[in-house]
Amino acid sequence: MIDINLIRSNPELVKENIKKKFQDKKLPLVDEVIELDAKKRALQSEGDALRASRNSLSKQIGALMKEKKIDEANAIKAQVSQNNARIEEIAKQQEEIEAQLKKDMMSIPNIIADDVPIGKDDSENVELQRFGEPVTPDFDVPYHLDILENLDGIDIDSARRVAGQGFYYLTGDIARLHSAVLTYARDFMIDKGFTYVIPPFMIHGNVVSGVMSFEEMEGMMYKIEGEDLYLIGTSEHSMIGRFMGQIIDESKLPLTLTSYSPCFRKEKGAHGLEERGIYRIHQFEKQEMIVICKPEQSAEWYEKLWQYTVELFRSMEIPVRQLGCCSGDLADLKYKSCDVEAWSPRQQKYFEVGSCSNLTDAQARRLSIKYKDKDGQNKLAHTLNNTVVAPPRMLIAFVENHLQADGSVTIPDVLLPYMGGTKVIYPKK
């Protein structure tokens, strides 16, 4: 959510930003917000004047009653009653206007960074850098499910019977590899100075609306029937929600946190072959990184965060690239975002394994996350998040890039302590 003062002072900038995101249907919201804001302030002024008048008249009533001027006192009482009725009417109108104003404000996208590439959707994202040389083996790389099944590491059919499409069982060495990567990623971030956190896996609706747009919420979140609780789609949701309504001491910033959680997502829509298997699923686990900082620190932290993901994947000998997300691919709360994509020898292209975002003060404004500066002023913080690693997609990249001609998968040195020294996972078939 952007600052109402920006809409008041520079509505054309806000409209131009909406156009850059190819959301022209939202353009009328800017004028509607200006109109609602003017009505709200006018009602506030009228209400203040009526309350001041009521206080003054109440004093007159007391004085007239002492002088036994009953008729005059009753006349003023009638006027006070009229004022009270109007004050109640104003309060009701204000409540309705504030609800609509908040809805409109939460639908207007955050201002994007000047260097965000302009494009309609993810097909117009821009490659920025590559890290590591993509390798194409001299043998055919099977579909990732075939690799995992050959290693006796996955059971999709049983999961489908138990829970439906979009779930899986991991077994044996592959299940251990999954846990090993998560544990390694946890330790990797702790070594970077981040504090490890395990957050709640369910959150209230007001937290959901504070951390994401309505469109994202509808497409992602599972609601618990009969309760004001949602399953988290990523630990960022509950991690940011932890600080809602708080004023953080400036000396504690930046807060650098790394969190583990299961994640639950609807993943609506049909997907192609390569996005089946364990690429798009309803339940997975992830290690995340979160930063809450002062505004002047967020640009520097944005660069640090995505580079940590690159460093992690390169330490596991997986080639990756940084992809700048274009304007039309940015969620409404995001100021700037990039994806880290891993090389797929099978597909001969890169695919997303992590996403890094700077949301400036958009989440902090919705959730009232502030810090007190050295002058005692309360200011909105900036929030950032980034995927350290999400094993389902990481597993695809991992087995494809470490696959040998005989169907075995090698384990890089950094994971050996977490794999009990196992250097190779051999086919069971």
C-alpha 73/C-alpha 62 separation (Å) is 8
Digit-coded pLDDT (tens) for 213-226: 777 777 788 999 99
The mean pLDDT of 202-211, rounded to a whole number, is: 93
Helix, strand, or coil here: 255? Answer: strand
Residue 207, pLDDT > 60, answer yes
Task: Show me where the domains of the chain are located.
Answer: 4-107, 122-425
Residue 272, pLDDT > 70, answer no
The mean pLDDT of 115-142, rounded to a whole number, is: 95
Q: Tell me, what's the pLDDT at 333?
A: 95
Higher pLDDT, 316 or 62: 316
Q: Where are the alpha helices (DSSP H) in 67-199?
A: 70-107, 144-150, 156-163, 172-191
Does the domain at 4-107 match CATH 1.10.287.40? Answer given as: yes
Residue 271, pLDDT > 70, answer no
Digit-coded pLDDT (tens) for 333-366: 999 999 999 999 999 999 999 999 999 999 999 9
Contact (CB, 8 A) for 278 and 144: yes
Architecture label for domain 122-425: 2-Layer Sandwich (3.30)
Digit-coded pLDDT (tens) for 374-398: 889 999 999 999 999 998 899 999 9
The confidence band for 53, taking pLDDT boundaries of 50, 70 and 90, is confident
Both tokens of 20, joined, read 């850059």
Digit-coded pLDDT (tens) for 152-197: 999 999 999 999 888 999 999 999 999 999 999 999 999 999 999 9
Q: Reduced to 3 DSSP states, what percent helix, strand and coil does the chain have, rounded to the nearest 5?
A: 50, 20, 30
Q: Indicate whether this model's pTM tops 0.85.
A: yes
Closest CA to 429 of 414, 407, 399: 407
Digit-coded pLDDT (tens) for 72-101: 887 888 888 888 899 999 999 999 999 999
Higher pLDDT, 97 or 268: 97
Residue 71, pLDDT > 50, answer yes
C-alpha 393/C-alpha 415 separation (Å) is 17
Domains 4-107 and 122-425 equal at CATH topology level: no
Q: Percent of the chain at pLDDT above 90?
A: 81
